């Protein structure tokens, strides 16, 4: 699911930061409030949706895009 992907991203970034000795704490609440995860121009907005429904497979690249103000 999209939620599992978000958790995996969080874990990956935390491990990478620990290895490189970078910033110890990131506010993930702020990140998810400020950015959308996107794949092929489509926002991954529903956390319960399966990645397969968006057409995401292994080794596909997702990116962050800044949310616009309402």
Q: Are 45 and 67 in contact (CB under 8 A)?
A: no
Q: How far apart are CA 61 and CA 56, in angstroms?
A: 8
Q: How far apart are CA 15 and CA 37, in angstroms?
A: 20
Going from the first residue of the chain to its last (70 residues), give the mean pLDDT of each consecutive group of 10, the final group possibly shorter. Answer: 94 90 84 93 93 93 89
Domains plus CATH for the chain? 2-66 (3.10.20.90)
> pLDDT at position 55, please?
93
């Amino acid at each position: 699911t999209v939620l599992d992907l978000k958790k995996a991203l969080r874990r990956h970034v935390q491990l990478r930061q620990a290895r490189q000795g970078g910033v110890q704490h990131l506010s993930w609440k702020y990140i998810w409030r400020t950015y959308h995860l996107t794949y092929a121009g489509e926002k991954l907005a529903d956390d319960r949706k399966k990645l397969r429904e968006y057409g995401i497979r292994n080794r596909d690249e997702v990116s962050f895009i800044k949310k616009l103000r309402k």
